[in-house]
Amino acid sequence: METDEHDIRGVWTRGSEPKELVLSDGSRLTLGADGASGGGVNWQRSDGRDETFGTVSVPKALELAGDHYSPYIRVRTRAEAEWLRSVADWCSAEATRLDQDLAAAPR
């Protein structure tokens, strides 16, 4: 990326359910699991083909998105956080159920 990052801004979202933000330099921001960081959920910046430039913090993603697309970054980040909370709640309930089943089982 040889472009001055202060000039880069979001230009459009892509996908039937927008999953990525295309930036003015052609790179893209996506939110998803990052295998390189042990599977954590992060914003990723890539060239839109195969090369990933790495993880991007939420503040940096907001900056890159610009004023017009920063609400997209906020909504996608909030939605992902809520989804993770829902999954965690389900996992906790299932763990409790398994503990109860085990406690009720004959020895």
55 and 44 Cβ atoms separated by less than 8 Å: yes
What does the pLDDT read at residue 16? 55
Q: Kindly report the number of other CB atoms within 10 A of residue 18's CB atom.
A: 12
Q: Is residue 15 part of a domain?
A: yes
| pTM listed for this prediction | 0.72
- Under DSSP, the state recorded for 50 is S
What does the pLDDT read at residue 104? 94
Q: Is residue 4 part of a domain?
A: no
Q: Which two tokens stand for residue 50?
A: 């195969």
User: Model confidence over 11-43: pLDDT tens digits?
Assistant: 666 665 567 888 888 888 888 876 555 667 889
CA-CA distance, 11 to 31, in Å (whole number)?
17
Q: Is residue 81 part of a domain?
A: yes
H runs (alpha helix) in 16-104? 58-104
* Overall number of domains in the chain: 1
User: Model confidence over 43-94: pLDDT tens digits?
Assistant: 988 886 666 678 899 999 999 999 999 999 999 999 999 999 999 999 999 9
Q: Is residue 1 part of a domain?
A: no
What does the pLDDT read at residue 26? 84
Q: Is residue 5 part of a domain?
A: no
What does the pLDDT read at residue 10? 66
Residue 1 confidence (pLDDT) above 50:
no
Q: Is residue 3 part of a domain?
A: no
The parent domain of residue 55 ranges over 10-104
> What is the distance between the terminal CA atoms of the chain, rounded to a whole angstrom?
63
